[in-house]
C-alpha cells in the first residue's frame, strides 16, 4: 500500500522536476543562442560600415577584384544595384558563386540577416544596401564562418538533453528514498493502529466467552426460577454476545491479514463439487420469492483453502439474498485458459457507480443497506480471502437492476 504511494510520489516529483528543468534549459539555451547571434550580427555591421567606401573606390574601375585569403575571419562581396560584382575579399573558394545563386536576384535595397550552409560549413550573412545621394547604388554581402559556434551549440544541446535525463532519473530515485523517509511515521502509526485492532479483538475474546458461558450457565441452572421476561432477556443477551463474537472474529481475521500473519493451507480443492455443495445448502434456505440457479462447469480444481473459499461463497450469497427482495440469484463457475472465473449475480437493489469502489472498505454500508442487519465487514473479508489466493474481485452493478460480483483466480 505504502509502496504504491511511494512510487506515485516519486513519479510525480520526477515529472514536475522534468517539466521545470526542461523549461529552464530551453530558456537558457535559446537565450545563449540569441545573445551569441546578436554579438555576431553587431560584428558584421561594424565590418560593413568599414567596407562600405570600397564600393565608391572600385565601382568605376574596369577590373573586378576578388582577393582570397583562407585565414580571414570576415569576407564580403560588393555589387552594383544591377547585381554586377564590383569588389570583394573571400576566405572560402567558390563561396561567391554559391552566394550569387542564392542572393543574386534579390531586391538590392533589401536589408537582411541569414544563416547559410555550404559544404558542411555554416555562415552568418548580412546583406545591406549602399546609398549614394539617398538612392540605392548597390549592395554588400558581409559574412563570417560560424561553424565552430554551430558545433558548440549542437554539442551543448546534446549535453543538456543528457543532463536533463540523468538528473531526472536521479531526482526520481532521490524522491523515492525521501518518500520512504517521510512514510516512516505514517507507516509506524498505521502499524500501531493495526496492532491495536488485533490486540483489542484478541483481548475482548476471553471476557466475551466468559460472558457467554455465564449466560448459558444462568439459563440452565437458574432457568426455572426466572420469570418469562428474565428468560427473554437472557436470550437477547446471548444473541447480542453471538453478534459481538462474530464481529470480533472478523476484525481479528482482517487484522491478521493486514499483518500478513495468515498462512493459508493450500490443497487442491475440487471447486465444482464445493460450489455444488454450497448451492444445495443455500437452495434450502432461499426465500420462496427468489429463484436460485447455478451454472457450474464440471471438474474444476483450485489450489487453495477449501474453508476460506466456502466462507467467500457464504459472504457473497448472503449478500445476494440480503440485498434482493425478489428475483433471481445465479452462481456460475467456469474455467478459461489461465483463470478460474466465479460470479454471483443477483437482481436486487443494486448500487450506484459511486458506491461500487467503496463496498470493499471496512464498515462501509450503503444507506439502502442500513435498514438490514450487517456489520459492513463481509466484503472486506471476501477481498482478503481472494487476495490470499492471488486472485482479484470486483463488482458491477445497476441501481434496482442487480449486482454481480466477479472473482478470478489464476490457475
Which residues sit at the interface with ligand ATP, rule CB under 6 A? 319-320, 322-323, 346, 348-351, 359, 364-366, 369, 374-380, 403
Residue 350 sits in the site that holds Mg ion (CB under 5 A) = no
Give the C-alpha separation, 374 to 352, whole Å: 19
Residue that is written with C-alpha cell 420469570 in the block = 227
When binding is defined by CB under 5 A, the residue of 201, 272, 279, 319 that contacts Mg ion is 319
Q: With contact defined as beta carbons under 8 Å apart, do 265 and 303 qualify?
A: no
Pairing of strands 301-304, 339-346: unpaired
Q: With contact defined as beta carbons under 8 Å apart, do 385 and 308 qualify?
A: yes
Helix axes 271-285, 306-322, angle to 10 degrees: 30
Q: With contact defined as beta carbons under 8 Å apart, do 407 and 393 qualify?
A: yes
Q: How far is the CB of 345 from ligand ATP (least distance, A)?
A: 9
Q: With contact defined as beta carbons under 8 Å apart, do 396 and 404 qualify?
A: yes
Q: Given the complex with ligand ATP, which of 192 and 370 has the nearer CB atom? A: 370
Q: Hey, what's the cell of 173?
A: 530515485
Q: How far is the CB of 238 from Mg ion (least distance, A)?
A: 22
Say how many CA atoms lie within 13 Å of 4 toward its Cβ.
Answer: 1
Q: How far is the CB of 403 from Mg ion (least distance, A)?
A: 12
Which partner in Mg ion, ligand ATP, none is near 346 (CB below 5 to 8 A by kind)? ligand ATP
Give the interface segment with Mg ion, choosing from 70-78, 102-110, 177-185, 377-385 (CB under 5 A): 377-385
Q: Given the complex with ligand ATP, which of 14 and 351 has the nearer CB atom? A: 351
Residue that is written with C-alpha cell 523515492 in the block = 176
Residue 378 sits in the site that holds Mg ion (CB under 5 A) = yes
Other beta carbons within 10 angstroms of residue 76's beta carbon come to 23
Q: Given the complex with ligand ATP, which of 103 and 323 has the nearer CB atom? A: 323
Q: Given the complex with Mg ion, which of 53 and 372 has the nearer CB atom? A: 372
At residue 375's C-alpha, the angle toward residues 285 and 208, to 5°, is 95
Q: Given the complex with ligand ATP, which of 58 and 362 has the nearer CB atom? A: 362
Q: What's the alpha-carbon Rg for the chain, to the nearest Å? A: 43
Give the interface segment with Mg ion, choosing from 61-69, 343-351, 357-365, 375-383 (CB under 5 A): 375-383
Q: How far is the CB of 380 from Mg ion (least distance, A)?
A: 10
Say how many CA atoms lie within 13 Å of 28 toward its Cβ.
Answer: 11
Phi, psi (deg, nearest 5) at residue 355: -75, -30
Q: Given the complex with Mg ion, which of 10 and 404 has the nearer CB atom? A: 404
Q: Given the complex with Mg ion, which of 378 and 391 has the nearer CB atom? A: 378
Which partner in ligand ATP, Mg ion, none is near 138 (CB below 5 to 8 A by kind)? none
The DSSP secondary structure of 62-96, one letter per residue, reads SS-EEEE-TT-SEEEEEEETT--EEEEEESSTTHH
Q: How far is the CB of 318 from ligand ATP (least distance, A)?
A: 6
Q: Given the complex with Mg ion, which of 175 and 319 has the nearer CB atom? A: 319
379 closest CA partner among 396, 361, 352, 367: 361
Q: How far is the CB of 382 from Mg ion (least distance, A)?
A: 8
Give the interface segment with Mg ion, choosing from 6-14, 55-63, 197-205, 374-382 (CB under 5 A): 374-382
Which partner in Mg ion, ligand ATP, none is near 320 (CB below 5 to 8 A by kind)? ligand ATP
Which partner in ligand ATP, Mg ion, none is near 272 (CB below 5 to 8 A by kind)? none
Residue 175 sits in the site that holds Mg ion (CB under 5 A) = no
What residue ranges bind Mg ion (CB under 5 A)? 319, 378
Amino acid at each position: 500500500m505504502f509502496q504504491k504511494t511511494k512510487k506515485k510520489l516519486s513519479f510525480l516529483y520526477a515529472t514536475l522536476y522534468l517539466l521545470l528543468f526542461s523549461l529552464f534549459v530551453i530558456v537558457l539555451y535559446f537565450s545563449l543562442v540569441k545573445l551569441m547571434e546578436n554579438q555576431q550580427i553587431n560584428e558584421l555591421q561594424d565590418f560593413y560600415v568599414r567596407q562600405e567606401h570600397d564600393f565608391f573606390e572600385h565601382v568605376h574601375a574596369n577590373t573586378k577584384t576578388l582577393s582570397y585569403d583562407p585565414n580571414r575571419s570576415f569576407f564580403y562581396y560588393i555589387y552594383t544595384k544591377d547585381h554586377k560584382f564590383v569588389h570583394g575579399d573571400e576566405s572560402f573558394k567558390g563561396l561567391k558563386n554559391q552566394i550569387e545563386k542564392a542572393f543574386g536576384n534579390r531586391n538590392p535595397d533589401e536589408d537582411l540577416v541569414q544563416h547559410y550552409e555550404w559544404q558542411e560549413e555554416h555562415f552568418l550573412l548580412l546583406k545591406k544596401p549602399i546609398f549614394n545621394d539617398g538612392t540605392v547604388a548597390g549592395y554588400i554581402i558581409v559574412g563570417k564562418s560560424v561553424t565552430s559556434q554551430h558545433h558548440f551549440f549542437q554539442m551543448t544541446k546534446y549535453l543538456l538533453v543528457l543532463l536533463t535525463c540523468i538528473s531526472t532519473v536521479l531526482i526520481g530515485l532521490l524522491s523515492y528514498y525521501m518518500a520512504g523517509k517521510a512514510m516512516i511515521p505514517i507507516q509506524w502509526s498505521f502499524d500501531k493502529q493495526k496492532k491495536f485492532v488485533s490486540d483489542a479483538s484478541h483481548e475482548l475474546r476471553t471476557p466475551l466467552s466468559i460472558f457467554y458461558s455465564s449466560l448459558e450457565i444462568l439459563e440452565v441452572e437458574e432457568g426455572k426460577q426466572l420469570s418469562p421476561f428474565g428468560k427473554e432477556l437472557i436470550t437477547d443477551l446471548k444473541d447480542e454476545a453471538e453478534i459481538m463474537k462474530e464481529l470480533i472474529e472478523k476484525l481479528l481475521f482482517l487484522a491478521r491479514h493486514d499483518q500478513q500473519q495468515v498462512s493459508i493451507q493450500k490443497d487442491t480443492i475440487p471447486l465444482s463439487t464445493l460450489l455444488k455443495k454450497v448451492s444445495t445448502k443455500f437452495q434450502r434456505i432461499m426465500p420462496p420469492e427468489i429463484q436460485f440457479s447455478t451454472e457450474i462447469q464440471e471438474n474444476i480444481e483450485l489450489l487453495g483453502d477449501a474453508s476460506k473459499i466456502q466462507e467467500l461463497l457464504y459472504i457473497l450469497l448472503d449478500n445476494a439474498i440480503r440485498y434482493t427482495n425478489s428475483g433471481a440469484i445465479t452462481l456460475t463457475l467456469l474455467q478459461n485458459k489461465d483463470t478460474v472465473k466465479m460470479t454471483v449475480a443477483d437482481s436486487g437493489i443494486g448500487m450506484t457507480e459511486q458506491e461500487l469502489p467503496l463496498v470493499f472498505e471496512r464498515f462501509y454500508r450503503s444507506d439502502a443497506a442500513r435498514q438490514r442487519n450487517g456489520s459492513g465487514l463481509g466484503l472486506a473479508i471476501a477481498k482478503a480471502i481472494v487476495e490470499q489466493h492471488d486472485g482479484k474481485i470486483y463488482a458491477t452493478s445497476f441501481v434496482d437492476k442487480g449486482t454481480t460480483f466477479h472473482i478470478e483466480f489464476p490457475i
